[in-house]
Amino acid sequence: MRLALMIEGQEGVSWEDWLALARACEEHGVEALFRSDHYLSPTDPSRAALDAWAVLPALAAQTSRLELGTLVSPVTFRAAAVLANVSATTNEIAAGRVSLGMGTGWMDAEHEAFGFPFPEMKIRLGWLEEQIEAVRRFWGDRPHPQLIVGGSALSGTLRPAAKWADEYNTIFATPEECAQRRERLVEACEREGRAPIPLSLMTACAIGRTPEEARERIRRRIERAGQQVDPDEYRDQRGAASVLGTLDEAAEQLRAYEAAGVERVMLQHLDHRDLELVALIGRELAPAVA
């Protein structure tokens, strides 16, 4: 089981924060740092949102081992030719350490605020398939990133992923749901005459060495998300599709995902200035599930 860190970049993550996160990942052995690609926080619109494809090449130049990528860049405001070129450029700066995640886009308020088109899902799925193919075409024989397609394992995202992607990513799913999605992914790849591509999962993470430390991290996660719920209640509601609790509990949850066919998990860390959690993931959790 491989682990990566996932940061919601639209939630007030400054350049200094990004540098600290990337350096902590490299120092503590976290193999990959992914970020969202949004211009607006759904939690607090006053929070700054540095552009994903401006931050990633800068981080590429500041790191030497860390995989960097988006989960995911929306086809609604990332034109295929521009996205292909900026991602390949970033990949060159990083000497091959970049992954490009692509998806349909979902935050209607963001699109309205910035004047991006936001048609119905059927149209966005059509755009996704067209633009994934176009990005592959624009890359040509040039060294390029790994391509990740995001979705819920329905045909609109599975079909283009099975044709062109290197990895399929789903979000906030239980191990049982992941097993079902993995089965559909395998079938889609078989229809395209390809070996199955890896399935990954992006999900919530708040863990600690003790129950008290874990509960405090869950509390801070809730606070950052702008929610008002007791940490124990939150864990009861979200725990089946998250990585929450002590190190031992987190390792058990991750092993259940591995048994369901998930090959890596992107751990969503909302309290992004808590670098101790990065160390905990890299030094203790990752070795426990390797």
User: In this predicted model, what pLDDT tens digit does every residue of 81-99 receive, in sequence order?
Assistant: 999 999 999 999 999 999 9
User: What is the pLDDT at residue 239?
Assistant: 85
CB neighbours of 262 closer than 8 A, spacing ≥ 6?
1, 175, 178, 182, 199, 200, 201
Contacts of 276 (CB under 8 A, 6+ apart): none
pLDDT beneath 70: ranges in the chain? none
Half-sphere exposure for 160 (CA within 13 Å, toward CB): 25
Q: How many domains does the chain have?
A: 1
204: nearest Cα among 111, 277, 110:
277
The confidence score (pLDDT) of residue 32 equals: 98
User: What is the DSSP code (8-state) at residue 209?
Assistant: S
Q: Which amino acid is at 139?
A: W
CATH number of the domain bearing residue 83: 3.20.20.30
C-alpha atoms less than 13 angstroms from C-alpha of 22 in its C-beta half-sphere: 24
Provide the token pair at 216.
């405090």
Question: 205 lies in which domain range?
Answer: 2-289
What pLDDT score does 144 carry? 97
- Dist. CA 141–CA 148, nearest whole Å: 18
Residue in the block written with tokens 């939630």: 11
Largest separation between any pair of C-alpha atoms in the chain? 52
Q: Cα–Cα distance between 144 and 102 in angstroms, integer? A: 14
d(CA 164, CA 255): 28
- pLDDT (0 to 100) of residue 5: 98
Three-state secondary-structure class, residue 242: coil
Q: Which helix (H) or strand (E) holds 251?
A: helix 247-259
Residue type, 77: F
What phi and psi values does residue 262 have, to the nearest 5 degrees?
A: -80, 130
**How far is residue 92's CA from residue 90's CA, in Å, rounded to a whole number?**
5
For 198-222, the pLDDT digits (tens) are 999 999 999 999 999 999 999 999 9
User: Pick from 186, 218, 210, 217: which is nearest to 199 by CA?
Assistant: 186
Question: What does the alpha-carbon distance between residue 23 and residue 20 come to, in Å, rounded to a whole number?
Answer: 5
